[in-house]
Amino acid sequence: MTETTHALRPHAEDAFASELKALAAADDRPRPERWRLSPWAVATYLLGGTLPDGTVVSPKYVGPRRIVEVAVSTLATDRALLLLGVPGTAKTWVSEHLAAAVSGDSTLLVQGTAGTAEESIRYGWDYARLLAHGPSREALVPSPVMRAMAEGLTARVEELTRIPADVQDTLITVLSEKTLPIPELGEETQAVRGFNLIATANNRDRGVNELSSALRRRFNTVVLPLPATAEAEVDIVSRRVDQLGRSLDLPSVPEGLHEIRRVVTVFRELREGVTADGRTKVKSPSGTLSTAEAISVVTGGLALAAHFGDGVLRSSDVAAGILGAVVRDPAADQTVWQEYLEAVVREREGWKDFYRACREVSA
């Protein structure tokens, strides 16, 4: 385990080490080979619960239990797991915590971008050794996927659909044959029991490369939905902001819960195109207005309240962040936002301070 005292964002296995240790001690159910916990304990780690010794396991994912059970059971088979959903549905968060609970290591990560090369998934070379001595195992630099195969751990590929299609297909042999050929050496790395792979993807952002049918067949796809209710989304935002706030020495969430409810309400109404009471239709902006963006708005507001206010989250602290999240297209989104402010926010009882704050930053 690495030293994380001063880490801005500790890895899941470090941040929740005490919960993982308590779960391992209480876990008497069968574990797949090289798993740190049983599938039941992995699901409990993600969904939360109270152990027989009184240890409270905090929920990492707030959503349908069946989704987590399907994801965990998939990893216990030879099928890879694809977490699919619109931006902000906690795909990366769930992926990291699944890897931490199953393998005790969430760091075997390939971050997908338009510039991700084949070597990031297969292997690269130490060119000094390669030029001096030619191809050899000592000169080979294994990718996170290759390391996971050799050690029976869980690898992660984030934003799979951002990776160029020809590079994506590098995974086909890994997932179907459970082997990674090294033609330069006439060798291969075979996956040992315990190995599996979690990928995340969305099809709502720009720059998406569709998965080939051959690659998609190698995954069991689990769709992560947006929070079903406003209360669930408020709970998610509050928990995540509280975690981030502790690492940044920001004020506690409870004092700003009222403003968090407002942020979530605005995001949900604009996202769904109708007010919470179902009486008024509103136009939706071009952005996704995801739960992750709500977390960002509230965290930024808490920083303003802490450093330039009295430490209590207020409408004036979140107004600028909301404007930045909503107005992505200055031409179209500005009109949508102004109409929403005048038709909905202005008339809503108890929201006068919020309306004034948003008007000031929109002027």
Structural domain boundaries of the chain? 12-223, 230-362
CA–CA distances in Å: residue 243 to residues 146, 183, 246: 33, 46, 5
- Mention the CATH class of domain 12-223: alpha beta
Which distant-in-sequence residues (6+ apart) come within 8 Å of 125 by Cβ? 135, 139, 140, 141
Q: Three-state SS for 26?
A: helix
Q: What is the pLDDT of residue 255?
A: 62
pTM to 2 decimal places = 0.89
Helices (H), the chain: 12-15, 17-26, 39-47, 65-75, 91-103, 118-121, 127-133, 144-151, 165-168, 171-177, 213-216, 230-248, 257-272, 291-308, 315-326, 332-340, 352-362
Closest CA to 79 of 189, 180, 174: 174
CA–CA distances in Å: residue 278 to residues 91, 233, 268, 283: 29, 18, 12, 14
Q: What is the pLDDT of residue 206?
A: 60
**pLDDT tens sequence for the chain (363 residues):** 444 457 778 999 999 999 999 999 999 999 999 999 999 999 999 999 999 999 999 999 989 999 999 999 999 999 999 999 988 889 999 999 999 999 999 999 999 999 999 999 999 999 999 999 999 999 999 999 999 999 999 999 999 999 999 999 999 999 999 999 999 999 999 999 999 999 999 877 666 788 999 999 999 999 999 898 999 999 999 988 888 888 788 877 666 689 999 999 999 999 999 999 999 999 999 888 999 999 999 999 999 998 998 888 999 999 999 999 999 999 899 999 999 999 999 999 999 999 999 999 987
